[in-house]
Amino acid sequence: MHFAFSSHSPRYGAIRALRNVSLALMFSATAAAAEPGPAVTVLALGDSLTAGYGLPEGEGFVPQLEHWLESHGEEVEVVNAGVSGDTTAGGLARLNWSLTPEVDAMIVNLGGNDLLRGLDPAMSRANLQAILEEARARDMPVLLVGLEAPGNYGPDYKQAFDAIYPDLARQFQADLERSFFAPLTARLDEPDARQRYMQPDGIHPSAEGVALIVEAIGPRVKALVERARD
């Protein structure tokens, strides 16, 4: 004998309730997976390379990086604290007022102007160390972006300068991007990369060059955002 369940059957009501609960849990889990984590604010402390010198609005390092992060599912604001001409000493001098209460993490991209001026690597190291000490005091994760000295200052200078970034990253357990410009020479040799990916001054990347840099550094910044969210 076949029994059909009516909408008034207690057993039918229990089955329907169970089904509704299951659907609600499924939709809730799907929505949670689709939603990004809490918004994170990242301070990009740097010089003209961070500021986007010579590039139209929206094509500099910070806006391209923020767009990359958002396209990879992160709810994030990257604050452009790049000042053209700034040395590591300049970055340190404005650090405290740059680290506003809403900042959750920091990218440190300084040292290029120290190189251009041939400043003592020991001074650059001391300034960057002080920046990282302040970040540690605030329990703030940091991505330290390195640079490599040219050979024209001599091997001793190059060795001393190049060692700054990996040494400090280890000391302060900071994330490290060893070379800001490395992505530009990953595909082409240096003369061709300079012509293809740099502005006419030979110092600052073009918008296309910035895009390559962001593509390379983006995963590290994404990891930094996730660390700040933990």
Is 6 among the residues known to form the active site? no
Burial of 187 per CB tally in 10 Å (0-12, 13-18, 19+)? exposed
Q: Which residues have C-beta within 8 Å of that of residue 189, sequence separation ≥ 6?
A: none
Q: Looking at 156, 189, 201, 230, which residue is catalytic?
A: 201
What tokens appear for 157 in the block?
Answer: 């200078």
Burial of 61 per CB tally in 10 Å (0-12, 13-18, 19+)? buried
Is 201 among the residues known to form the active site? yes
Evaluated on CA atoms 51, 56, 60, 62, the torsion sign reads positive
H helices of 57-109, where? 61-71, 88-93, 95-98
Is 48 among the residues known to form the active site? yes
CB burial string 197-207: b at 16+ within 10 A, e below: bbeeeeebbbb
Q: Looking at 47, 48, 86, 124, which residue is catalytic?
A: 48
Rounded distance between C-alpha atoms, residue 228 and residue 220, angstroms:
12
Active site positions, annotated: 48, 201, 204
